[in-house]
Amino acid sequence: MGAERGQNVANAAGPPAAAAEPLCWICKQNKADSGEHKTKRSDLLAVLGKPTQAEPFYYHDLHKANRPVGSLDAKILKSPVRICAYCNNTRTQPHDRAWEAMSDRLRSRRLAVGQWVRCNRVFGSFTKREMLKVHLFFLKLFGCMIAEAKANGHDVPIDLDFFSSAIMSGRPHGEVHLEFGKHDGIIGRSDLHCWTTDPGKSVLAAWLYELDTIAVSVIYSQAGRFEHRRDLWHPRSGTNTKRFRIADFMYSKRTDEEMSGSNAVQQ
Ligand SMILES: [Zn+2]
């Protein structure tokens, strides 16, 4: 199924347009001449293992007819779209460092699925500010994936301007949420998956950042369209800005039945 999907997307994408040299999607001023990231395939089913809490939610993936976005195969994401050196190295460096520190701390702890972790146990000082930087770090990665997908001809119904303005202003993006969890050994990144509900055209997108024993699910949930999930973390979500719950991203231990049971609620 994976190969078939990739082929469909590749055929739909066609050759990249030889347009003028693109500008950095973050600052929109400098040439996009920096940055490089790779994606690895992983099982995305489980990344969105629980979206159906927002019922009615008749999501479909976007490979079939009349669906604006496909499952974006890793090779499709190898696009020349980039950000500028200043944005990549200077502007977002504090964000990179905040995530680096957080990932170190999470990986050095014994985490239990379902456990709540207080953010001030991750960042003992400037907790709120550092956690915001972590959010901004994932906005950069997410924005690059969206920019690449769009450059490859996919009609991703997510506005990149809000990612840009969030990073430029240092303010959170209201529709991007994080879920931190335990993982089982893979290092890499899933493809970007995007769904629209039918009816309603509400947009949900997600991908998984995998770092050996931990993983982060990065979720775009269109504002006001989905039920608020208390287990997701957001810098100003109203319920859980100060703590997050460890999710179960240990897919290799799950059976096929578990993977297809989208209503299963983890404990
Ligand atoms: Zn830039």
3-state secondary structure 154-222: CCCCCCHHHHHHHHHHCCCCCCEEEEEEEECCCEEECCCEEEEECCCCCEEEEEEEEECCEEEEEEEEC
How many domains in the chain?
1
179 belongs to a structural domain:
yes
Residue-level pLDDT at 215: 93
- What spacing in Å lies between the alpha carbon of 182 and ligand 1's midpoint? 33
| Gap from CA of 57 to ligand 1 centroid (Å) | 37
pTM given for the model:
0.74
CA–centroid distance, residue 89 to ligand 1 (Å)? 10
**What integer pLDDT is reported at residue 4 of this predicted model?**
36
**Within-domain flag for 265:** no
Domain assignment of residue 110, yes or no: yes
Does residue 229 belong to any structural domain of this protein? yes
Domain span at residue 45 reads: 23-260
- Going from the Cα of 198 to the center of ligand 1, the distance in angstroms, rounded, reads 36
Q: How far apart are alpha carbons 192 and 195 in whole angstroms?
A: 10
Quote the pLDDT of residue 197: 86
Q: Rounded to whole angstroms, how far apart are CA atoms 146 and 218?
A: 13
In a domain, 1, yes or no: no
9 in any annotated domain: no
d(CA 23, ligand 1 centre) in Å: 8
Structural domain includes residue 162: yes
Å from CA of 249 to ligand 1 middle? 33
In a domain, 7, yes or no: no
Q: Under 8 Å CB-to-CB from 140, ≥6 apart: which residues?
A: 26, 83, 92, 95, 167
For the chain, 267 residues long, the average pLDDT of each consecutive 10-residue run is: 36 46 91 56 29 30 31 38 85 91 89 95 96 96 88 88 97 95 81 86 90 90 84 79 91 60 38
